[in-house]
Chains A and B, each alone.
Chain A
Amino acid sequence: MPESILLKWTRDGGVHDLTAYCRAGGYAAARRVATGELPPESVIDLLVQSGLRGKGGAGFPTGQKWKFIPRSAPIKYVVVNADEGEPGTFKDRTLLEGCPHLLIEGIIIAAVTVGARKAYVYLRREFHRARRLLEQAVAQARAAGFVGERIFGGEHTVEIVVHTGAGAYIAGEESALLESLEGRRALPRLRPPFPAQAGLYQQPTLVNNVETLCHVPAILTLGPERYRELGPPALFSISGHVTRPGVYELPLGTPLRAMIFEHAGGLRPGRRVQAVFPGGSSSMLLTADQLDVPMDYDSLRAVGSMLGSAAVIVIDDSADIVEVIARVVEFYRDESCGKCTPCREGTVWITQVFDRLLGGRGRPADLDLLEGIARGMTGTCFCPLGESVPPSLVASLRHFRHAYERHIARAGAGVAAPPAAGAAHGH
């Protein structure tokens, strides 16, 4: 296992106490930034040199994003996207539960650098343990003078407010998150303007994911060259049909095969890989002959998929891909905010076709129908949620057509398919 800069804080139950975190070098980077030893321009330069890209899914260069926040604006905000909910992703929760001070240090550095006096953490409501630990850590940091007025004895004020959502996957999309934080339905906003110009309360707002901010203290401490030598490191959530599911800190570009077989313990005896989501349920499904792909932004894009939130979901040959895709579409149907027609109607329509297929009433024409609906949703949805559906649906139709045809053949023979494992679903 390579040297760890993030997960070292979460091992053996994690580091929750401020004293222990400081003793291990924590808050040293924040202190340098807050006291002016490391000026904002230098922080941004270091981030740019590090090559850090946003870990929430979009992969936008972080230094660039920080640079976009206008210097001169009088009121600015930092908003932390801690609404992790992409199926297969659990790295942010692992960090929050393992070492909330790491996030707080990242927030302080971000706020001072962009000149924000207030930061909001938009935390998933279901993260009850993370909320308790984070609130406790913020209180510790405030008592130590690291959060609040004149932090670290310098001239900066940074307030941190922990805010919880109320159960809506779409609130993880950054503009919908801002709507939700303003107390409204989490509907995505039309862009531009981007949050860097007009975000929370129409003020310039830096929105960063939990993991992204957790990389920042290490980049400042190690320096960008050393950080890049480490991979650069990234957190991968590996789940599904592997014997050791978990969060792994590995260099970007680690081959998918090594992740599954060396790190996550491989599959159960006698099982073979059937398919893999390399970057969460919205990334295009890969097949067993694509396992040598390096897990980085460009390599995955080159094979038509994406790194996304780096959530690897492994599906072995015991699963019915049709059921898996049906479940994924159901998720997006239930979580669609309803704002735009292709997503609202398309997800429902696709679900109806899957209900037919899995219910033993599928028709040969249904496969073309699915293709057609997917095509109609591609590039037409208001936000990434609806756009998440077509890639895997289309990939499954291309690579696992026989699985669909099996269901249709059963319909022709008058035999109903057995109920799907995840079929007992509803709110």
Chain B
Amino acid sequence: MSVPPAAAARADRRPLSEAARQEIRQLAARYEHRQSALLPALFVAQAEYGWLPPEALEGVAQTLDLPLAEVVSVASFYHLFYLAPVGRHVVQVCTNVSCMLAGCGAVVARLRERLGVGPGSTTPDGRFTWRTAECLAACDEAPVVLVDEDRWPRVQPEAVDDLLARYP
């Protein structure tokens, strides 16, 4: 993903907060081995920074007492960890078979037009990052769009503007 200057400027150098470290330690207590808390911990850190800058990865590694290389390796494997800044809202359009048959191509085209950037990119104002997604397991609602934690069913291209307007 490209790094928009506006979002990159927001990244600061502060270490992972004590509150986040505390939350991660509590998460680790749910498991027999502390490394099991790594995925949940990365989400805690990602919630604090909006993405996973080096400080976040270091903070997670220190708190769980894991090698930084291991933390980076795991973070880079999963689609939902952001190793570069993202916009305030993340839009995921499912383009897998059922959504493709239901016409997601037109939704993708509309998003590209309205947001002015291609999939995998962030708008210059830092408001949206959008990308295509693999099956969201909602094929009965195809074409499906996930904005942050909200799933929008049967999205038609002409509804894209209204949808985006809900996320200032």
Contact A128 B151 (CB under 8 A): yes
Report yes or no: A89 in contact with B79, Cβ–Cβ below 8 A.
Answer: no
Complex contact A89–B100 (CB within 8 A) = no
Stretch at the interface among B14-22, B29-37, B159-167: B29-37
Query: Quick check: A183 and B39 within 8 Å, CB to CB?
Result: yes
29 pairs, CB–CB < 8 Å, chain A vs chain B: A85-B137, A87-B98, A88-B97, A89-B139, A126-B92, A128-B149, A128-B151, A167-B78, A181-B36, A183-B33, A183-B39, A183-B66, A237-B140, A239-B139, A239-B140, A240-B101, A241-B101, A311-B139, A313-B139, A327-B96, A331-B96, A334-B134, A337-B77, A421-B103, A422-B99, A424-B108, A425-B132, A426-B118, A427-B79
B1-45 vs A, CB cutoff 8 Å, 1 = contact: the mask equals 100000000000000000000000000001111111111101100
If A126-B146, A163-B40 touch, whether A84 touches B139 (CB-CB below 8 Å) is: no
- Residues of chain B lying within 8 A (CB to CB) of residue A86: 135
Does B157 belong to the interface (CB within 8 Å)?
A: no
| Per-residue interface assignment for chain A, residues 176 to 206, with 1 indicating a CB less than 8 Å from any chain B CB and 0 otherwise | 0000111111100000000000000100000
**Residues in chain A within 8 A of chain B (CB atoms):** 84-90, 92-93, 124-129, 161, 163-169, 180-186, 201, 237-241, 245-247, 277, 281, 311, 313, 315, 319, 323-324, 327-328, 331, 334-335, 337, 420-427
- Residue B155 interfacial (CB < 8 Å): no
Residue contact B135 to A422, C-beta cutoff 8 Å: no
Residues of A within 8 A of B137 (CB): 84-85, 89-90, 92-93, 124, 126-127
**A313 to B81, Cβ gap below 8 A?**
no
Chain B interface (Cβ within 8 Å of chain A)?
A: 1, 30-40, 42-43, 66, 70, 73-74, 77-81, 92, 95-105, 108-109, 112, 118-120, 131-140, 142, 146, 149-151
Q: How far is the CB of B67 from chain A (nearest CB, A)?
A: 12
Contact yes or no, A246 B140, CB < 8 A: yes
Are A313 and B135 within 8 A (Cβ)? no
Residues of B within 8 A of A89 (CB): 135, 137, 139
Complex: A359 Cα to B120 Cα, angstroms:
22
Q: Nearest 10 pairs between A and B by C-beta?
A: A167-B79, A166-B78, A183-B38, A239-B139, A421-B105, A183-B35, A167-B80, A422-B100, A128-B149, A239-B98
| Among A201, A313, A423, A425, contact of B98 (Cβ-Cβ < 8 Å) | A313
CB distance from B134 to the nearest CB of A (A): 6
Q: Which of A87, A169, A426 contacts B132 (CB 8 A)?
A: A426
- Which of B30, B39, B134, B142 is within 8 Å of A85, CB to CB? B134
The interface residues of chain B lying within 8 Å CB-to-CB of A87 are 96-98, 134-135, 139
Given contacts A89-B137, A182-B33, A331-B96, whether A166 and B119 have CB atoms under 8 Å apart is no
Minimal Cβ-Cβ distance residue in B for A83: B137
